[in-house]
Amino acid sequence: MENDASAVIDAKPPQSLTDPLTDPFTPPADSSLWRTNFLLGAATASYQIEGAATEDGRLPSIWDTFSATPGKVLAGDTGALACDHYHRWEEDVNLLAGLGLEAYRLSTAWPRVMDENGAPNHKGLDFYKRLLGRLKEKGISTFVTLYHWDLPQHLEDRGGWLNRDTAYRFADYADLMSRELHGLVDAWATLNEPWCSAYLGYGNGHHAPGLANGRFATQAMHHLLLAHGLAIPVLHANDPRSLKGLVANVGRGTPNSESAGDRRAAELYEVQHNAWILDPLFKGEYPQDLVELWPGTEPLVLEGDMQTIAAPLDFLGINYYFRTSLASDGAHGFRDVPLEGVERTQMGWEVYPDGLRDLLIGFKETYANLPPIYITENGMASNDEVVDGRVEDTQRISFLKRHLAAVDQAIKAGVDVRGYFLWSLMDNFEWAFGYERRFGIVHIDYATQKRTIKRSAELVAKFLKDRNARAQ
């Protein structure tokens, strides 16, 4: 998920949201969510939950290196153990099945399945085969993301995403995984949130590998998108029956005032957050406004690159979390203006469900070739505690209900949205914020690894049970 430390401010939700709510998750009778072909699932990522960072031939990733660097991650936390999913995957699959969730989005760890020479690591591959096989036995649809930020450190040592060769190594990785996991994957996503990989990793240094240079960000983005484009035909060749797509995090920007400067600032924010990725995918070009934002940072683009990047997709994954209020910076960019008196999450992010609806409708109007959409991440962090064996995450319940209503509104406006994945199945390693921020619908006691189902998960399960009964 997008996770920029600069976005965090001290804020608490309105008191009204801490009051008990009666069965707040049940959608209205005319909601599109009652359709049995609308997938409802949960998502995780390899480095955030797996642990076992040095077991069975797994190599170091850039996040192992970054989190072990003093001052980079809150409290010095690392993903070395995380949720110990590598050893507890059977328990976690049973959790998914017990809640009645219909789909599971996970990522595979590149450093776990290949050595430095590109040869397969069969112990790592066997882990994913067992996991995906059990999910299929349980009737759970499998959405697999190939890259959720854990680049092998040996590739970063050769330049990482600044090195064009990394895109070709990614295609090799996609080839291996789609051959080995053929038939076990319902949908492949090449990349998760290339905006975060490029901008937070290479533009401002808040994420691994911790570099901070505007030209680095645009070049890294180009190589990430090139890697995506090179992988798509490989996935089609090796696993033709699966869906192929990419997951993008998107941001809603609104002007802080009606001035022309603030309106332009909001437009430029959405260019940087959304069009930077979506225009190459669906128009075959980078937005011209990027030059206004970042003059002199144009990436090196070789002949044929943009056609490769714009390969047709079966789906687009959308990750959405918050809205940002923007004002002109007095030059050619924008600055954030935090609004007062609004509901915020533990991350300090504003809760703004209308932003999801507005973005989905806007994308449909902007991109004539937009494929079907899955909301591949949506959720919130809260400071959840287990009290008498229960976790009453009331704000999350309200958050989910309102964002699912926004998805329903987009569907009724003609947007082809086919599913929704809660972020996240379980509390986990939240990147630069370590283990302090809890996004899960299942609570993790990191000292004991005990899993406790939160009230939000109970209500999701109840809805799915009611929907199944209604369909019979």
pLDDT at 291: 86
pLDDT at 18: 40
pLDDT at 26: 84
73-130 pLDDT tens trace:
999 999 999 999 999 999 999 999 999 999 999 999 999 999 999 999 999 999 999 9
pLDDT at 239 over 60: yes
Lowest-confidence segment of 2-11, 41-50, 298-307 by average pLDDT: 2-11
Amino acid at position 275, single letter = A
pLDDT at 284 over 70: yes
From CA 356, how far away is CA 350, in angstroms rounded?
A: 12
pLDDT at 14 over 50: no
> Concatenated DSSP letters for 181-222?
TTTT-SEEEEEE-HHIIIIIIIIS-SSTT----HHHHHHHHH
From CA 66, how far away is CA 206, in angstroms rounded?
A: 10
β-bridge partners, 40: 420
The one catalytic residue among 193, 270, 343, 350: 193
Amino acid at position 229, single letter = G
Helix, strand, coil percentages for the chain (3-state, nearest 5): 45, 20, 40
Angle between helices 214-238 and 276-283 (to 10 degrees): 40
From CA 40, how far away is CA 48, in angstroms rounded?
A: 21
Domain that holds residue 58: 5-471
pLDDT at 404 over 60: yes
Structure tokens at 430: 């939240």
pLDDT at 55: 98
- Sequence-distant (≥ 6) Cβ neighbours of residue 258 within 8 angstroms: none
From CA 173, how far away is CA 165, in angstroms rounded?
A: 13
pLDDT at 1: 54
Q: State phi, psi for 91 to the nearest 5 degrees.
A: -60, -40
**Percent with pLDDT over 70 in the chain:** 95
- Confidence band for 332, pLDDT divided at 50, 70 and 90: confident
pLDDT at 6 over 90: no
Cα-based distances in Å from 76 to 81, 180, 346, 432: 13, 36, 19, 9
Amino acid at position 235, single letter = L
What is the torsional sign of CA 53, 54, 58, 64?
positive
Cα end-to-end span (Å), the chain: 36
- Confidence band for 11, pLDDT divided at 50, 70 and 90: very low
Binding residues for substrate: 48, 148, 192, 321, 423, 430-431
pLDDT at 19 over 50: no
Q: Structural domain tally of the chain?
A: 1
pLDDT at 471 over 70: yes
Radius of gyration of the chain (CA): 21
193 in catalytic set: yes
Once rounded to an integer, what is the mean pLDDT over residues 322-337?
95
pLDDT at 372 over 90: yes
Once rounded to an integer, what is the mean pLDDT over residues 357-368?
98
Residue with tokens 């990430």: 224
Local structure of 247: helix, strand or coil: strand
377 in catalytic set: yes
> Concatenated DSSP letters for 95-149?
HHHHHT--EEEEE--HHHHB-TTS-B-HHHHHHHHHHHHHHHHTT-EEEEEEESS
Look up the CATH number of the domain holding residue 152. Answer: 3.20.20.80
pLDDT at 9: 35
pLDDT at 16: 41
